[in-house]
Structure 1
């Protein structure tokens, strides 16, 4: 893909949020807005959005494939940068930095619908996550999103995330994710939506973690180790 720039080093993505222009977004927009034109200025205000064409060092592509810029609430964009750095830091060493993230924001800039991540290896871009493909990288990436966002919802071929408080909340979406991760990543095939607690704690013990899944430490450990297991960074 000739219009994808060579990314920064993996260390660079952990400390760099790529510079981009910002604008104020206002007016009536559809549920998922067409990106506004990037401006050289940013207007302050409680309802202001910023327009960005990158998440950390990775360029943003629309679901249709073209390079794009999207309106974000500032906190969401910052947290997406931290999430992508976390995903990259826990991926295999031969997966270089992410170079593309495909997705779109809603009209408020508070929700991001993720559909794909691509990373650089041997000067080629490779799929690291595809929302419509429920393989191990899918569940691993959901784990990374649950690590950073309080709301993570697979919807219509995308994964919607928003900047709610992180940690275990007891939501049905979290319980469904735990049960699926236990089955698809940890191999506990008997795990069901009603038996997620015991299966998750068995996974934590196997990974050398003593915390309970419903604790803050347990939730952080389960999502982190599930990410590493699903991306084949580590085995337990």
Structure 2
């Protein structure tokens, strides 16, 4: 968007991407491991569903094939992102991203809205602004694994949301503290104390606290709520 939100330092994307690189090898290995006892088929054997939209937004490039429950999570995520976006933004009209071969991971490149009779990028992977961190927050709110990739693209994998303490979650939390909340002294070792001092009552490393912190960070980044 030509009137994009506050620009941020490129180190945010680089730092989050570096943290993601630490966890990706382990995550890949876990995904490849066979189910214990062979009691249920692997996720890759489940039938995939062709979908041309996520929530209200059409998929750039046409239909893609998803695991059914993963697509439902993506629907819920985008509706959540939209509900917490500025009132003068339309609901998302297009999402640009790619789906993994197994249909259980999605890499987000852009979210487009309609404003003033024009289609604009409300989120763009390569744009280091507050909307990037806000969108990252919204994905951490809904998914257990969110990775910043090349060029700032955001990759999520299926699963129940919640605090795991992963390097990628901590990297996001520190970046959000520093760049969205103005807590410049926050580090990986003490960011939780900074969050509490900023007025967040719940422990951000609990399930409910993480949900509250990520939602508040989404709204902070999109300038839809003041604290």
TM-score (ref. length: structure 2): 0.77
Per the TM alignment, residue 46 of structure 1 is displaced from its structure 2 partner at its CA by 5.3
Could you tell me how far apart the structure 2 residues matched to 1:200 and 1:112 are? Answer: 29
- Matched residue SS, 2:93: strand
Could you tell me how far apart the structure 2 residues matched to 1:90 and 1:126 are? Answer: 17
Determine the structure 2 residue equivalent to 1:80. Answer: 74
Per the TM alignment, residue 167 of structure 1 is displaced from its structure 2 partner at its CA by 1.0
- Matched residue SS, 1:98: coil
Q: CA RMSD in A?
A: 1.4
Per the TM alignment, residue 93 of structure 1 is displaced from its structure 2 partner at its CA by 0.6
Higher RCO (C-alpha under 8 Å, 6+ residues apart): 2
1:193-227: CA deviations, max 9, x gaps?
22222122233x1xxx4211111111111001100
Determine the structure 2 residue equivalent to 1:187. Answer: 182
Match of 2:170 among 165, 171, 175: 175
Could you tell me how far apart the structure 2 residues matched to 1:195 and 1:133 are? Answer: 28
Match of 1:214 among 198, 205, 208: 205
Matches within 5 A, 1:1-236: 47-61=46-60, 67-157=61-151, 158-203=153-198, 205=199, 209-236=200-227
1:64-122: CA deviations, max 9, x gaps?
xxx32111111111110100000000001101110010000111111000011011122
Native 8 Å contact 1:179 1:195 kept in 2: no
Could you tell me how far apart the structure 2 residues matched to 1:132 and 1:194 are? Answer: 28
Could you tell me how far apart the structure 2 residues matched to 1:221 and 1:163 are? Answer: 21
Could you tell me how far apart the structure 1 residues matched to 2:225 and 2:196 are? Answer: 18
* Count, aligned residues: 183
Native 8 Å contact 1:178 1:200 kept in 2: no
Unpaired stretches in structure 1, ≥5 consecutive residues: 1-44, 62-66
